[in-house]
């Protein structure tokens, strides 16, 4: 997606949020329905979204930070856009410690799923296409944890 299109979509989203906001009960029902879509997985909650770029010096590179949690597990990630692609790097924490090594984590987009194995709780995905993505964390014998879809921009 072209950067001008992303800017236009952001502006339209802000206008729609003011003119016709989505009622809270509709959001909750949507989340519940989404959880039922994959009853074998658990949906993580977005607790921090530094929506404004962390670094944006007017170049084609910008980054922002997202944090998802569920109980004692958190996924902290930084999305850095470089032109038409981005990198997604982060860490999975279980309480105050990195999640165990060898836990599989995948990055899903509309077109693909890319697996990765945690290394001391850390992960990195390169050349992620700009658009929507989510992470799926497998934890030996427990239901998979999925993040909400987030914007790779």
Question: Do residues 18 and 54 both lie within one domain?
Answer: no
- Total number of domains in the chain: 2
Question: Do residues 131 and 104 both lie within one domain?
Answer: yes
Share of the chain above pLDDT 90, in %: 33
3-state secondary structure of 101: coil
Question: Do residues 106 and 57 both lie within one domain?
Answer: yes
Residue-by-residue DSSP string for 21-32? PPPHHHHHHHHH
Is pLDDT at 54 greater than 60 in this prediction? no
Is pLDDT at 53 greater than 80 in this prediction? no
Structure tokens at 61: 């590179």
pLDDT for 55 = 47
Rounded to whole angstroms, the Cα distance separating 18 from 62 reads 26
Contacts of 81 (CB under 8 A, 6+ apart): 60, 61, 62, 63, 130, 152, 153
Phi, psi of 16 (to 5 degrees): -60, -35
User: Is the sign of the CA dihedral 125, 130, 134, 136 positive or negative?
Assistant: negative
pLDDT for 59 = 54
Question: Do residues 118 and 133 both lie within one domain?
Answer: yes
Q: Which has more confidence, 46 or 75?
A: 75
Contacts of 68 (CB under 8 A, 6+ apart): 44, 45, 46, 47, 74, 75, 135, 147, 148
Q: Domain of residue 101: give its range.
A: 41-152
Is pLDDT at 50 greater than 60 in this prediction? yes
Question: Do residues 56 and 125 both lie within one domain?
Answer: yes
The model's pLDDT over 70-118, given as tens digits with 9 standing for 90+, comes to 989 999 999 999 888 999 999 999 888 888 767 899 999 888 889 998 9
CATH number at residue 118: 2.60.40
pLDDT for 5 = 84
């Amino acid at each position: 997606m072209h950067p001008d299109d992303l800017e236009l979509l952001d502006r339209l989203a802000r206008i729609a949020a003011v003119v016709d906001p989505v009622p809270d009960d509709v959001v909750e029902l949507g989340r519940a329905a989404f959880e039922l879509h994959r009853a074998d997985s658990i949906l993580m909650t977005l607790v921090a979204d530094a929506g404004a770029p962390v670094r944006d010096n007017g170049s084609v590179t910008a980054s922002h930070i997202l944090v998802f949690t569920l109980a004692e597990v958190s996924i902290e990630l930084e999305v850095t856009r470089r032109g038409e692609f981005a990198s997604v790097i982060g860490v999975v924490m279980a309480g105050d410690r990195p999640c165990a090594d060898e836990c599989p984590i995948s990055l899903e987009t509309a077109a693909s799923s890319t697996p990765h194995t945690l290394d001391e709780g850390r992960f990195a995905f390169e050349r992620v296409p700009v658009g929507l993505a989510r992470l799926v964390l497998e934890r030996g014998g427990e239901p998979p944890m999925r993040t909400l879809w987030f914007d790779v921009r």
